[in-house]
């Protein structure tokens, strides 16, 4: 018999990066009375991870719940970046509706397209929230038209096209159904959710089925499985069975059961159909598995996660400075940490290679992998990574490569240089129209490998005025060779400390990446050569003391400010014969072969084709 839970709604919030999603959840929590009057709460409470707070992006999906008029609204905050699409896809399995949040100025962006497509495929009920209507340059009416166009483009059915629209300012904490209505609080948003999002349906009397869509950790109780009860009831302490992905079964006991209340997990004795719950006491359960009643092991289908598109090797650090700055430096440390990441990072792949000290790690994009690198670095790990490479696929005997959908907003004066650069990277223009305030929106399909190393070049070419976003589109046949980096590296000649005199001589040859006083080793990359070939420079060279010079001549040596590369820029810069050395304190670039003579011999062999 079908039961409908009228006292509960399950929704996900989906949006592009920086459209105010996490701030809106803050407002909903505050206005539903979750926080005490005098409670001090930091902004963007849902972004709990340091990296999320620094970058202003959501990386991990999170659960929270608010109560409004006796109805519990479970809210799942999802990442807005394509590289964390694995997170988005699986959490949509827990909900019946989505709040699609769109900036009232920027309108729908590439990421909006990606997540909305997933939601429509799962037949979820959308509510469109046009956010930031208090911005001076807001254009809410045009944005609603843009959203409608996007729905049509993505093949939404008639029912989905009848989406309700709410106008809001998550920062000011108000929502209205009519753009010119009184702006008081978020009540219209709560009421629309309750009215429009379907209540969970299913059979409460049938045996238990709970699909695990997320995994969390707790220092005290260990691994926690999070999921929604699709059928039946669950009790704390009951015996159950896990239906594994490989088809095997395992008997377990539900040690503790939790429901979400605000940002906290509250212990519960039981839960039923439609509830989103956490279960502890299940040691090695993973995402995509089903917890069932002991007598009825019936697994639920799990959403297919898009395959990784980019891979790189994570290698034990073997540079002359290895082990000086990190706490975890051995291949066992590296291996354990990478395989532990697989437990919660569903769109990641880790493979062992022929070398015991090297692991092939594949992910959804450069950002996906660089977040993992940065997280490990902060946890005290020290290692090296190779240049990101694109994962090819053989389809009907032909080589196919991942293609991205790239959207660029750029002032008209920079259009020429952007189109020229993208042309050399095998980009194909799909659309071009004027955006707002003198900006043009250019849309391309471009091979994923054509984007590696392009972002920093793009920012330089547009003098920081351009905005680029891209999202995985499809696998298409190989587009042909793309020319790689045009300039060579400046490589340190010997181990020592960089001094002003040596750097002054080196800076005439190109752009420096280091300053005086930085310790270097032979084979370390200290800058970019102005020409296409690599060049060896002696940045540790001191001026001969015997030379008679006027006093104060050393002070006259003016060094230009070095370009300090971020992690992403370093990954974009290196070529196939280079590595990035990652430690908790430093990011260094180096040649794979450090010895200058050996590198020269290898180079001449390569030229002769040996």
Domain ranges of the chain: 3-200, 203-292, 393-477, 489-608
Task: Give whichever of 163-177, 218-232, 458-472 has the largest mean pLDDT.
Answer: 163-177
Residue 64 and residue 46 in contact, taking contact as beta carbons nearer than 8 Å: yes
Task: Give whichever of 53-62, 104-113, 292-301, 522-531 has the largest mean pLDDT.
Answer: 522-531
pLDDT band at 129 (very low <50, low <70, confident <90, very high): very high
Q: What are all long-range contacts of 427-433, with beta carbons under 8 Å and residues at least 24 apart? A: 430/405
What is the C-alpha end-to-end distance of the chain, expressed in Å?
73
Which CA distances in Å does 390 have to 261, 348, 382, 393, 404?
42, 14, 24, 10, 12
Give me the pLDDT at residue 359, please.
96
Q: Is 159 annotated as a binding residue?
A: no
List phi, psi (to 5°) of 430: -105, -35
Q: Is 450 annotated as a binding residue?
A: no
List phi, psi (to 5°) of 122: -85, 5
Length of the chain as a residue count: 610
Q: Is 132 annotated as a binding residue?
A: yes
Lowest mean pLDDT among 103-112, 153-162, 556-565: 103-112
Give me the pLDDT at residue 85, please.
47
Q: Is 50 exceeded by the pLDDT of residue 179? A: yes
What is the model's pTM? 0.69
Q: Is 20 annotated as a binding residue?
A: yes
More confident residue, 459 or 208: 208
CATH architecture of 393-477: 2-Layer Sandwich (3.30)
Q: Percentage of residues in the chain with pLDDT exceeding 90?
A: 22
The average pLDDT across 317-339 equals: 93
Q: Which CATH number fits domain 489-608: 3.30.450.40, 2.60.120.1440, 2.40.50.250, 1.10.3210.10?
A: 2.40.50.250
Tokens encoding 304: 């297919």
Q: Is 90 exceeded by the pLDDT of residue 358? A: yes
Give me the pLDDT at residue 117, please.
80
Segments in 100-232 forming alpha helices (H): 110-121, 140-153, 158-161, 187-196
* Nearest-angstrom CA–CA distance, 341 and 349: 9
* Nearest-angstrom CA–CA distance, 526 and 112: 40
Give me the pLDDT at residue 247, please.
80
Q: Is 583 annotated as a binding residue?
A: no
* Residue found under tokens 């399995």: 93
Q: Is 50 exceeded by the pLDDT of residue 88? A: yes
CATH architecture of 203-292: Beta Barrel (2.40)
Helix (H, G, I), strand (E, B) or coil at 152: helix
Give me the pLDDT at residue 42, please.
40
The rounded mean pLDDT for the chain is 82
Give me the pLDDT at residue 343, please.
72
Residue 110 and residue 409 in contact, taking contact as beta carbons nearer than 8 Å: no
Q: Which CATH class is domain 3-200?
A: alpha beta
Give me the pLDDT at residue 110, please.
63
pLDDT band at 63 (very low <50, low <70, confident <90, very high): confident
Q: Is 23 annotated as a binding residue?
A: yes
Q: Is 131 annotated as a binding residue?
A: yes
Q: Is 60 exceeded by the pLDDT of residue 555? A: no
Lowest mean pLDDT among 409-418, 431-440, 481-490: 431-440
pLDDT band at 503 (very low <50, low <70, confident <90, very high): very high
Q: Is 192 annotated as a binding residue?
A: no
Q: Identify the CA nearest to 80 among candidates 30, 125, 23.
A: 23
Q: Is 80 exceeded by the pLDDT of residue 552? A: no
Give me the pLDDT at residue 17, please.
63
Tokens encoding 1: 């018999």
Give me the pLDDT at residue 436, please.
64
Torsion of CA 188, 78, 378, 225, to 10 degrees: 110
- Residues whose CB is less than 8 angstroms from the CB of residue 378 and which lie 6 or more positions away in sequence, other chains included: 50, 51, 584
pLDDT band at 381 (very low <50, low <70, confident <90, very high): very high
Q: Is 80 exceeded by the pLDDT of residue 119? A: yes
């Amino acid at each position: 018999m079908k039961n409908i839970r009228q006292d509960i709604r399950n929704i996900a919030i989906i949006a592009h990066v920086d459209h105010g999603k996490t701030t809106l959840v803050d407002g909903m929590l505050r206005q539903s009375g979750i926080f005490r009057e005098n409670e001090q709460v930091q902004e963007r409470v849902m972004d709990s991870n340091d990296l999320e707070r620094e970058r202003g992006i959501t990386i991990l999906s999170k659960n929270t719940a608010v109560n409004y008029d006796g109805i519990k609204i479970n809210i799942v905050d999802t990442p807005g970046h394509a590289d964390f699409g694995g997170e988005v896809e699986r959490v949509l399995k827990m909900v019946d509706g989505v709040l699609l949040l769109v900036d009232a100025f920027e309108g729908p962006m590439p990421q909006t397209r990606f997540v909305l497509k997933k939601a429509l495929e799962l037949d979820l009920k959308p509510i469109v929230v046009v956010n930031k209507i208090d911005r001076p340059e807001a254009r809410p009416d045009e944005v609603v038209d843009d959203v409608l166009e996007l729905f049509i483009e993505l093949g939404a059915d008639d029912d989905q096209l009848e989406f309700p629209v709410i106008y809001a300012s998550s920062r000011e904490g108000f929502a209205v159904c009519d753009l010119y209505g009184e702006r008081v609080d978020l009540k219209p948003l709560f009421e629309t959710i309750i009215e429009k999002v379907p209540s969970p349906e299913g059979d409460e009397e049938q045996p238990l089925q709970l699909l695990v869509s997320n995994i969390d950790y707790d220092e005290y109780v260990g691994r926690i499985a999070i999921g929604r009860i699709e059928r039946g009831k669950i009790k704390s302490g009951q015996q159950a069975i896990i239906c594994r992905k490989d088809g095997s079964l395992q008997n377990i006991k539900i040690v503790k059961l939790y429901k979400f209340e605000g940002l906290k997990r509250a212990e519960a004795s039981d839960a039923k159909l439609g509830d989103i719950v956490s279960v502890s006491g299940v040691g090695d359960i993973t995402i995509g598995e089903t917890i069932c009643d002991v007598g009825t092991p019936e697994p639920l289908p799990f959403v297919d996660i898009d395959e990784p598109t980019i891979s790189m090797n994570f290698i034990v650090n073997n540079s002359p400075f290895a082990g000086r700055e990190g706490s975890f430096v051995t291949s066992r440390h590296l291996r354990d940490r990478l395989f532990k990441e697989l437990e919660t990072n569903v769109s990641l792949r880790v493979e062992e290679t022929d070398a015991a000290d090297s692991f092939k790690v594949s992910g959804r994009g450069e950002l996906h992998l660089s977040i993992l690198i940065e997280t490990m670095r902060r946890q005290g790990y020290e290692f090296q990574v190779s240049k990101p490479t694109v994962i090819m696929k053989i389809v009907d005997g032909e080589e196919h490569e991942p293609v991205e959908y790239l959207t660029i907003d750029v002032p008209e004066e920079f259009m020429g240089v952007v189109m020229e650069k993208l042309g050399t990277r095998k980009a194909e223009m799909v659309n071009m129209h004027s955006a707002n305030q003198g900006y043009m929106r250019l849309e391309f399909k471009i091979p994923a490998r054509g984007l590696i190393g392009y972002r920093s070049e793009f920012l330089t070419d547009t003098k920081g005025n351009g905005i680029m976003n891209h999202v995985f589109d499809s696998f298409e046949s190989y587009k042909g060779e793309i020319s790689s980096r045009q300039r060579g590296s400046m490589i340190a000649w010997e181990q020592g400390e960089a001094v002003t005199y040596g750097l002054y001589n080196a800076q005439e040859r190109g752009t420096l990446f280091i300053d005086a006083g930085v310790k270097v080793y032979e084979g370390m990359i200290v800058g970019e050569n102005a020409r296409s070939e690599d060049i060896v420079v002696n940045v540790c060279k001191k001026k001969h003391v015997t030379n008679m010079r006027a006093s104060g001549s050393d002070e006259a040596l003016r060094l230009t400010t070095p370009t300090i590369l971020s992690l992403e820029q370093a990954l974009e810069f290196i070529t196939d014969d280079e590595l990035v050395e990652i430690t908790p304190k430093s990011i260094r670039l180096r040649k794979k072969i450090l010895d200058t003579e050996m590198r020269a011999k290898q180079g001449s062999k390569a030229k002769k084709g040996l």
